[in-house]
Amino acid sequence: MNIRHIALPLVAALSLALAACSKEEAASAPGSSTQAAADKSPIAQAQAYDVLAAQGKGFVAGAMMSANTVYVLFDPQCPHCGHLWQSSLALQGKVKFVWLPVAIMNAKSAPQGAAIMTAANPVETMTAHEQQLLGGSGGMSASADIPAEVMQTIKHNTDLLERLGATSVPFIVAKHQGSGAVITQNGAMSVEALANFLGMGQ
């Protein structure tokens, strides 16, 4: 894992390594190349929610009519994203999750992200994919022939991840249900930890 800030305590570094997938292989991933004119300006945390709501594209899972929307930037090849997906399933009756695929891990990331996004039932497809990924098979089979519009969406989501200053996935952006403040977090969480992070019941 490429730890950019070597001053981080070893314990914190190990914790991050166990909870998230880094961008170490981003340079070789299909979705990491960007257009020269792409906006590279950093996104402040206070603006992160509104920017993802306006510019991020993915698929919805959970309570479609919920006012509580949680945005998750994920790479289909990241097992920690798979663990977060599994944790989110228990909260989908109350929370609207929008999962935005990025491509930072390897050559399978963009094709799998495209296949999930364009599936007739993205939630079922994502669940099956994550079960295969966590089972050690590498996830679903997906064509490398990606429609240009879908590929551009994945590239744009990847650019947003970079502008948010995130160095690993999954990366969560939400509004705390109690305070209304914009909150961000990277890494997988248990169901209880995710509910607490979102301020559910507070």
The CATH number linked to 192 is: 3.40.30.10
Report the distance separating Cα 172 and Cα 194, nearest Å: 10
Token pair 């502008």 is found at: 163
Q: Does residue 84 form part of some domain? A: yes
Spatial CA neighbour of 141 closest among 111, 120, 171, 102: 111
Question: What are φ and ψ of residue 149, in 5° steps?
Answer: -65, -40
The answer to whether residues 91 and 191 touch, using CB atoms and an 8 Å cutoff, is yes
Q: Does residue 174 form part of some domain? A: yes
Q: Does residue 3 form part of some domain? A: no
How many other CB atoms are there within 10 angstroms of residue 152's CB atom?
14
Please tell me the pTM assigned to this model: 0.84
Q: Does residue 92 form part of some domain? A: yes
The answer to whether residues 71 and 49 touch, using CB atoms and an 8 Å cutoff, is yes
Cis amide bond preceding 30, omega within 30? no
HSE toward the beta carbon, residue 108, CA cutoff 13 A? 11
What is the count of structural domains for the chain?
1
Q: Where are the beta strands (DSSP E) in 4-157?
A: 21-22, 59-62, 69-74, 96-101
The maximal CA–CA distance of the chain, rounded, in angstroms, is 46
- Rg, the chain, Cα only: 16
Query: What is the reported pLDDT for 25?
Result: 44
Query: What tens digit of pLDDT does each residue of 166-198 get?
Result: 989 999 999 999 999 999 999 999 999 999 999
Q: Does residue 50 form part of some domain? A: no
Query: What tens digit of pLDDT does each residue of 93-105 get?
Result: 999 999 999 999 9
Q: Does residue 45 form part of some domain? A: no
Query: What is the reported pLDDT for 11?
Result: 33
Query: What is the reported pLDDT for 37?
Result: 54
Mean predicted confidence (pLDDT) in 70-92 = 98
Query: What tens digit of pLDDT does each residue of 113-135 get?
Result: 999 999 999 999 999 999 999 99
Residue numbers of the domain that contains 83: 57-198
Q: Does residue 24 form part of some domain? A: no
Output the average pLDDT for the chain: 87
Q: Does residue 35 form part of some domain? A: no
The answer to whether residues 139 and 65 touch, using CB atoms and an 8 Å cutoff, is no
Return the DSSP state at 27: G
Query: What is the reported pLDDT for 22?
Result: 76
Report the distance separating Cα 193 and Cα 149, nearest Å: 36
Token pair 């679903």 is found at: 140
